[in-house]
Structure 1
Amino acid sequence: MSTAALRRAFDRLRASRAADADTAEHALTDALRPLAGSVWPEVAWRSSRLTGTGYPVELAWASRDAAVRWTCEVAGPETPEADRLRLARRVAGSAVDAGPWLLAQREHRLLWGAWLGWRQLDGVRHRKIYLELPDGRVPAGPWSAAAAELDSRVGGLTWRMAGLNDDGSVELYARALDPTWTALTSAAALVGDGSRLVGLVGGLVGYPWPCGLSLVLAPAGTPVALTCFAIAKTVWACDAAARAAVLRTTDTVDHPAASRQLYAALSAGPDDGRWRHGMVGAGVDSTGRAWLQAGLRPT
């Protein structure tokens, strides 16, 4: 079981968030037991689509709070992708309702199926299921109208996955091949100040790039947050450049000091010559908040 990188990362997180890091690490250890018992133990730790190196765990950070976050595979590589949503649902518990989404995957060829997410902040835990949308469309539901509206503002969206939160909210993720500043401004105006998102994206990169968009919807389907993100290696020349851009742009948004400490911990560690950063993005919500976020491979 290749957990040395995870142990190092959580040791660094404990320096500022000891209790939350302990709880999140224990939960992750339990979630990874199927991989530890995989019939292909070596393949299990280098075959995931979750990270660029195949590692089955990604740690995550958002500047808006000091939560400890992780996402992981729920089964070994021998488990069919079609079974993974059911397995993630079992681990997440009854608080996450994946029932309406099972049909979206039925009778489709899947690439990864589903992942499990966890967020731990000040002793409070939240679970999330990420599931693949194999046909590039959003299934019918209370989220349909907002998804169609976002597509009309940006154009050419391909829906890639959904995130089901334990408070009943849903996050929809789409690929946008050729966004413009005007389209991003219009998209973010669904939830608030569109110019704020454009300013953050411009601070990170300087131009609109082929990206992903995620739209968070309240249980009734009302849009409450929008994030624009991209795979770091498609934007920056190296991992260090991605880190420098995040740190530079973080200074332009409100964030707790503990959040910056968490990012420093996650983006540090031994340099193995491969990308730590996965997705990097900027978001805004209906309360007026703006933030940066990143997913990072443990090192």
Structure 2
Amino acid sequence: MRRIAIFTDDPGWHGKQLCLAFAEHGFEAEYASLTACRLQLDNNDLPVLVPGFAERLPAAVFVRGVPGGSLEEVVFYLDILHALQRLGVPVYNDAGAIERSVDKGMTSFLLQRAGLPTAATWVLRDREQALAIAELELRHGHYLISKPLFGSQGEGIRRIEKSTDLLWLTSSRGIYYLQRFIECDGDGYSDVRVFVVNGQAVAAMRRRGISWLNNVARGASCEAIDMEPELADLAVAAVDTLRMDYAGVDLIRDRDGVYRIIEVNSVPAWKGLQSVCDANVARMLVADLLSRYLGEPC
């Protein structure tokens, strides 16, 4: 039986769904942590050691998570992904896609240069300049969002609403990522998640937050929605710009009726989406990996 490595430190529901989907095609999937991998350059036959694959490299790698850590640690984890790809092991999403999307500054830059609608964004090192930008935005009636450059599930995000909030304006390891807050169309707080696989928007949902933060991990509810052509086209264009196999794209429709891209996630969760749509996301992802990269009939 051919074997697949799923890189994750928290397999949970998503890992189980992927294992079941791989098993349906005759593949055995094993969980492995990037923290336990190593380069062993005294071994020409197996220069990258993946836990559970001591005799032979996996047929392919599915990246379900990249651990945080110091700059050196994160670079090392990406080195492992790059090295596996150089050795002919398909990596899904690959290291380049993860680098372009995990760094919110680069994501925002690439989307803006591609002409896609996003929020006004500033990324900088100097605190005084960051405060000046925030003060000017508040003066013009705009709220501001402060985010970590790296992060997910709403961790470390603050909304700047008034001048006293500037006391809480902190950097993320020395870097300020500031984004104009987008007031969503309609009542309450909501945004849209579109799941894209191999250039196709395969499912979508609306997330309604109990506050301005719409993450499912933060208590947002999920609603099924019809896939509007505009939504599908924007999500696919964003994923194409970042050259990704698959992604979860988050968009907000602003008060002027314009959809704006706010996040592109290279290791998105889909449990909430799965609960409100008919499509089996894990099966779609596995079929795409196996057919495109391993030539399997799916």
The answer, yes or no, to whether TM exceeds 0.5 is no
**Greater gyration radius:** 2
User: When the two structures are superposed, what TM-score results if normalisation uses the length of structure 1?
Assistant: 0.31
User: When the two structures are superposed, what TM-score results if normalisation uses the length of structure 2?
Assistant: 0.31
Of structures 1 and 2, the one with the larger relative CO (CA 8 A, separation 6+) is 1
